Amino acid sequence: MQNQFGETHQNMQTGKVPPQMNHGGHELFDVHEVLSGTIAALNQAMILRPHVKDPELLDILDRQYRFTLDEYNITVECFKTGKDPSHPTGSYKMKTGNDFIYGMKPSQPKKPIQNANEITDEMISGFLLGAAKTSATAKTTAALETTNPVVRRVLADSVPNCIEMAYELSIYQNKHHYYQVPQLTEQDMQQVLNSYATAGQPGLPNQQIQ
């Protein structure tokens, strides 16, 4: 079909399409960003791994790497086929507790390093934390734009795992005073906590029958 400019356009597809073609344009670009970002995060973890000194951080890096690689593989599977991957999305489990240390302690000002020999566990855990946060945002954005139901579900199921990984890394950083968490005074905290109230369900008008 030609328009007034003589350009040929394909008719809009209606009805069912093959699973591998069941993707919208926004979905293709957003999932491309997710997969490219995941590869970058995995490559970064592999590059940083030899510089890790703390066995606990090395264990976190290795567990998160293996889990993320598996999620990457099943996302590629369903993205290419449009069908269910070889196995469902798993659920990432932390090894540590969830207790935070509140308050600020004096610390040295941070500044950029001058060479690779200055890389520390604080920096590495910060890189990993940033990658997990970025992945959570990218996957949420992609899931909201995804038309293929399988890909959307895999992306959506993966977001809580990114959150859990970021939480695990933030707890690790907090324990070592890399990431300090200030608190408001009790009076200010109570004022914020009590600034909202629940509401009952309103009486909705009856729907008119057509």
Give the single-character DSSP code of 102: B
Residue 130 lies in a domain: yes
Model pLDDT, residue 209: 56
- Asked if residue 10 has pLDDT above 70, the reply is no
pLDDT tens column, 69-124: 999 999 999 999 989 999 999 999 998 888 888 988 888 888 999 998 899 999 99
Closest CA to 113 of 103, 100, 122: 122
Closest CA to 131 of 53, 26, 60, 189: 60
Q: Into how many domains does the chain fold?
A: 1
Number of H helices, E strands in the chain: 5, 0
Residue 132 lies in a domain: yes
Residue 6 lies in a domain: no
Residue 61 lies in a domain: yes
Q: C-alpha 2: how far from its chain's center?
A: 43
* Over residues 59-77, mean pLDDT: 97
The mean pLDDT value of the chain amounts to 88
Q: Give dist(CA 111, CA 108) in Å, integer.
A: 9
Closest CA to 140 of 117, 153, 122, 159: 159
Q: What is the domain extent for residue 52?
A: 19-93+119-185
Residue 201 lies in a domain: no
Residue 39 lies in a domain: yes
Residue 147 identity: T
Residue 106 lies in a domain: no
Q: Which two tokens stand for residue 198?
A: 């629940």
Residue 3 lies in a domain: no
For residue 165, give the CATH number of its domain: 1.20.1260
Model pLDDT, residue 160: 97
Model pLDDT, residue 205: 79
